[in-house]
Amino acid sequence: MPKVKAVLGHVSVETALRKRTCSRHKSGKVAHPIYKDEACLVVKDSDGSKHNYCQESAEDILDLAANDLAAFRSALGI
């Protein structure tokens, strides 16, 4: 049987080895870092750049992704 394609290969969870900047909260009043040893969501773009997201942002991103996947399943009738 052919191998199933992983469509979320560009998304992962990493533990920050140093302080990182949350790509969603990088400026303004809501700006805050991702601290060393904190888990964060990492999204890699096609050009190889990485975007780091804090746990609060990760929850919102994953909720949206879950809704999108549910819509795809519904559209396919599965």
1 — pLDDT class (breaks 50, 70, 90) = confident
Residue among 8, 18, 12 nearest 50 (CA): 12
Contact yes or no for 32/40 (Cβ under 8 A): no
Rg of the chain over all Cα atoms, to the nearest angstrom: 15
Tell me the pLDDT tens digit for each residue of 33-60.
Answer: 999 999 999 999 989 899 999 999 999 9
Distances (CA, A) of 11 to 2, 37, 78: 23, 19, 24
Q: Which residues pair with 14 in a beta bridge?
A: 40
pTM score: 0.85
Q: How far apart are CA 76 and CA 62, in angstroms?
A: 21
